[in-house]
Amino acid sequence: MCKKDTIVVFGGSFNPPHNSHFSTAQQVLNQYEQVEKVVFIPVNKKYEKDGLEENKHRYNMLKLVIDKNSNFMLSDVDMNTERSLYTIETLEEIEKCFSNKKIWFLIGSDNLKEIHTWKRAEKLVSKYKILVMERNEDKIEEIIAENELLKKYKENIIKLEEEIRSNFSSTYIRSQIKKQKSVRYLMPDEVYEYIKRNNLYVKNTTILY
């Protein structure tokens, strides 16, 4: 039996969390027997992104789902800081909690294209495995071939074997809510009910009821 010695870090705005987030995490667990847990890390409200809901709401929505899966874990490591952490800082904090585990970082191929511009990029890609989901027409091999840093550490870049296919995103969900369209079946019921109960993303609407 494969030893479960790996923690996968899944960061994002989760604004709101939806079915694709959770199915992606489950797919990682299904495909890689060595993965013990997927750790969801929502970004701090201080992260410069338009329309980012308050920390407490995004955290609470994630928690409603994650608490029901023993292989999922929720961390507020980024939310509890004076500023939004750089990715390398986040991974180092998680590593402190799992000092005897390997740490993988889950990203989309769109982020792989930019990772060489991130803070302490070389340490990031040399120290940690980068688990990549191909998006749109991206080819990971081509992205690596076009970047010297990625070529240097290509053995640390792992292509997710089977991509989750989805035609919606958190951005799409927010746009539908603003248009007063139902989003009920795009997310777990717990998240849907939380959005409805707290009237998130658009005020004074009854479309979710």
How confident is residue 169, by pLDDT bands cut at 50, 70 and 90?
Answer: confident
Q: Supply the pLDDT for residue 54.
A: 95
User: Which of 71-85, 98-112, 158-172 is predicted with the least confidence, judged by mean pLDDT?
Assistant: 158-172
Q: Over 70: is that where the pLDDT of 201 sits? A: yes
Average pLDDT over residues 1-9: 89
Average pLDDT, the chain: 91
Q: Over 80: is that where the pLDDT of 168 sits? A: no
CA–CA separation, 77 and 59 (whole Å): 11
φ/ψ (deg, to 5) at 176 = -70, -40
Q: Over 90: is that where the pLDDT of 180 sits? A: no
CA–CA separation, 60 and 50 (whole Å): 20
Domains, the chain, in order of start with CATH, read 6-168 (3.40.50.620)
- Which residues, including other chains, have CB under 8 Å from residue 84's CB and lie 6 or more apart? 43, 44, 46, 47, 48, 78
Instruction: Using DSSP, state whether 36 is helix, strand or coil.
Output: strand
Q: Residue 154: count other Cβ atoms within 10 Å of its Cβ.
A: 14
pLDDT tens digits for range 114-147: 999 999 999 999 999 999 998 888 899 999 999 9
Q: Over 50: is that where the pLDDT of 209 sits? A: no
DSSP 188-207: -HHHHHHHHHHT-SSSS--T
Q: CA separation (Å) from 88 to 29, 92, 127, 165, 197?
A: 23, 6, 10, 28, 36
